[in-house]
Structure formats: C-alpha cells, structure tokens
Amino acid sequence: MDGELEVVAKAAAGDEDAFGMLVERHGRGVYTLAYRITGNPSTAEDVVQETFMRAYKALHRFDGRARFSTWVHRIAVNAALDVTRQRKVRAEVAYESEEVLDPSPSPAPGPERLAASADMRRVLAKAMRSLSPLERTAFVLRHHEGRTTEEIGEQLGLESGATRQAVFRAVRKLREALAPLVGATS
C-alpha cells in the first residue's frame, strides 16, 4: 500500500493514530485468518487483540523487507497457535459461510442441493477439527491464504519437507473425510 512504510514509521515512533490506521487496514484480514485457524469467533477476536499488541511492541523490528500485511499475518499465525495450545481448544471450524463449499452454480439451489451442502459443511467442520493445530494452520495458509510452502515453513518455523508433509497430511485427511460425500454426488 502506498505510504504504508511511513505509517509504520510513525506508529513505531508512538503515533497512536498511525497505529490505528494499521489496525483498521489489516484488522479484518487478521480476523479472517485467526477465525480460519481457530474456528471460533470469540477466540479469533482474542487472537486479533494479541496480534496487534505483539505487533505494537515489535514495530521497531519491522524492517520493511516484507509487506506489513505479511509481517502482521505471521504474528497472527503464531498468536492463533499459542492461543489454541494454551486453551487446548479443538477448533470448531464453521465453514457455513464459505462460498467454496456451495457447489451450486444456480443462485437458488433446490432442497436436495441445500441438504447436500449442509452435509458437506458438517463433515468438513468435523474433519477440520480432527486436524492437529499445525496441520490446520498449514492447510489454511496454503489453501485459504495462498501462501507458498516456503512462506508457511518460515511462519511456522518448519523445514521445507516438514511443511509439505503437514499440508499433505491435512489434505489427505480432508479428502478421506469428504470421499463418501464426493463419491455420492458423482
């Protein structure tokens, strides 16, 4: 974003309005990421607060090599994993609002299609809950955020092979869970 480095510099110098601008610009994206990892709106809000508290304390370390959004998302991933571990929460992933899961090309699906979608959402949410926090996070970063394996490994502190393995295990588990539904519709 134009002028973002200047806004970050002002925020790092103590300008609360500048930091407020950063929160306003990036808060929604951080919430979306946190919600996809935790599956809980309240926990996601806690992660957003924790993320921006950590970001504020570490602004002096932001060097501008990466975009601010990338930097703050990395903080959010770590905060989400920390909160998930601390609370030993099983993510209650709710994919009801995800367009990806609506296989209907028509704007008004019939009752059969609605029932199939509800079944798919229920099975997918259960499958996402069965993933470990690491697998779920790697999957979300790869398939929802579009991050490369290298970026995911960097964010999670994993070697390249371990990153690919986490994404692979998540995809395999989700495919296995969804196979009965996909097979039933083909």
Domain boundary among 31, 61, 87: 87
Domain of 161 in residue numbering reads as 99-185
The CATH number given to whatever domain includes residue 103 is: 1.10.10.10
80 and 109 part of one domain:
no
Query: Is residue 2 scored above 70 in pLDDT?
Result: no
Angle between helices 68-87 and 4-12 (to 10 degrees): 60
List, for residues 51-82, the tens digit of each pLDDT value: 999 999 999 899 888 889 889 999 999 999 88
Query: What is the distance between the alpha carbons of residues 99 and 86, in angstroms, rounded to a whole number?
Result: 31
113 and 148 belong to one structural domain: yes
Greater confidence, 102 or 143? 143
pLDDT over threshold 50, residue 185: no
- Among 23, 58, 87, identify where a domain stops: 87
- Output the pLDDT for position 186: 43
Q: Per residue in 156-179, pLDDT tens?
A: 888 989 999 999 999 998 888 878
Residue found by looking up tokens 């602004």 in the block: 59
